[in-house]
Amino acid sequence: MRRRMRILLISDYFPPYVVGGAEISAYNLAIGLSKLGHDVSVLTRVPEKTEFSGDFTVYTVRFKKKESILHYRLHTGILSSLSMSRGLADLLRKEDFDVIHAHNWISACSVMHVRRRMKIPPSILSIRDYRYFCPSLYGWCLVQSPKIKCNLIKTVMCAYRYSSASVLTKVAGIIPYALLRDSSRKMLEESLEAFDAYITNSNFVRKVVLNNLNLDNVYTVYNSVDTEKFNIGSGGDENGIKILYAGRFDTGKGVEYLIGAIPEVIREHDCIFVFVGGGALRKWAENLARKAGGSRVVFEGFVPYERINRYYQLCDIVVVPSVWPEPFGRSVIEAMACGKPVVATRVGGIPEIVEDGRTGLLIEPANSKEIANAINTLVDRVKRKKMGKLARKVVERKYNIEVITGKVLEVYEKFLR
């Protein structure tokens, strides 16, 4: 029988304020740990007047929403981590914890600042992306090599090539931007020394971490999904087959290749393409998609995370066309949890989730023809229903909150004093 622990989770953001997948994973973990009887506290940065739900205690570092967006865009973590570290130090003076688990980059820096000044419990860091060793954040070099060798010149070139900003903005701000990213990366790499162990969200990320950082005690624990919220539900098969893309519209997501597949698909089948999400390239993508598919294209814009499950339930096929090495692919397991087959690219950690030909179809990145062929294959109702049913079973077995929480606890227990 496991001992009851006092656990502090630190997350840059936390539901209902959702910026990315890290805070969703932190929330699911808080729920899972609480259900197992552990005393869970969360320290997070949130806008003013935010309310929380869950059987755990939330401590907050408040800020104005406009400031949060500015800090997030800058990607320095410096200003944000200082206020977070003050909150963490105050909390540790008042409360005793058995373990600290930081979930993001600002959280990592705050632990580093506090550890320099006082003794803290064993600390675990979740590494969910490439920012600790890649100034561009996207890890584009990993497409060719498992090792990243960056310098300022390469950072400038990478930022110019892959940023979704306008050419004018790039020309005016590329050097300061690259300097900021490079200095941020160095500070983040330094913050890693404050931790006793590390959890990556895929074996792909673990391999990259071991190739690029001198770290021990690196474990893989996949992201979890709330299988009660993301369930099969009702929908699909009505008024044409619905193909869903749910995610950001920016460099690396490969939306243009999905759009390139539209003409071939609608030429053969009665399909509707539904796009959900926001981002710098949304308008550009919408114009491109309307030219490709006309009335067969629907753009829903940004949808709050608490409502995104319904879009998965109402569609028939989900496409994840990423061209950058996705560390994990949360949209993949959310779609699978809703009983939908996934067409996804063989990049990053995605092939660890999708069983090709069983729960979905894996394709090569940047290939509209392969996307079209895969969608046309899944138009067959019997095929896609069979895949979707198996996908749901896989998620229930491997990615539900209880299973993933148990694996995280195994890591904690290795370092308890």
- Picking from 253, 308, 307, the residue whose alpha carbon sits closest to that of residue 285 is 253
Residue ranges in the chain whose pLDDT is less than 70 = 1, 48-50, 63-80, 159-160, 162-178, 181, 234-238, 417
In this predicted structure, what is the pLDDT of residue 282? 95
Location of structure tokens 């893309």? 245
Neighbours of 117 (CB within 10 A): 9
Task: Please state whether 160 falls in left (phi above 0), alpha (psi between -120 and 50) or beta.
Answer: alpha
Instruction: Give the pairing type, strands 123-127 and 297-301.
Output: unpaired
Q: Which amino acid is at 111?
A: V
3-class DSSP state for residue 47? strand
What's the token pair of residue 30? 């808080």
Burial class (CB in 10 A: 0-12, 13-18, 19+), 215: middle
Contact status, residue 400 vs residue 31, Cβ threshold 8 Å: no
Instruction: Give the pairing type, strands 197-200 and 123-127.
Output: parallel
Contact status, residue 42 vs residue 29, Cβ threshold 8 Å: no
CA 185 – CA 290 distance, rounded (Å):
39
3-class DSSP state for residue 333? helix
CA 374 – CA 349 distance, rounded (Å):
20
Using CA atoms, how far residue 244 sits from 22, 25, 154, 370, in Å, is 23, 23, 35, 16
Contact status, residue 221 vs residue 199, Cβ threshold 8 Å: yes
User: What is the reported pTM?
Assistant: 0.92
CA 73 – CA 256 distance, rounded (Å):
24
**If you count DSSP H runs as helices and E runs as strands, how many of each does the chain have, helices first?**
14, 13
- Picking from 142, 336, 301, the residue whose alpha carbon sits closest to that of residue 227 is 336
Give the chain's domains with CATH numbers. Answer: 6-224+400-414 (3.40.50.2000), 241-398 (3.40.50.2000)
β-bridge mates for residue 39, sequence order:
6
CA 284 – CA 323 distance, rounded (Å):
18
Neighbours of 3 (CB within 10 A): 8
Q: Which amino acid is at 222?
A: Y
What's the token pair of residue 404? 């993933």
- Picking from 202, 204, 147, 150, the residue whose alpha carbon sits closest to that of residue 181 is 150
For 45, phi and psi rounded to 5 degrees?
-100, 125
Task: Please state whether 36 falls in left (phi above 0), alpha (psi between -120 and 50) or beta.
Answer: alpha
Burial class (CB in 10 A: 0-12, 13-18, 19+), 274: middle
Contact status, residue 79 vs residue 71, Cβ threshold 8 Å: yes
Tell me the torsion sign for CA atoms 179, 182, 187, 188.
positive
- Picking from 296, 316, 328, the residue whose alpha carbon sits closest to that of residue 221 is 328
CA 124 – CA 290 distance, rounded (Å):
46
Neighbours of 386 (CB within 10 A): 14
3-class DSSP state for residue 416? coil
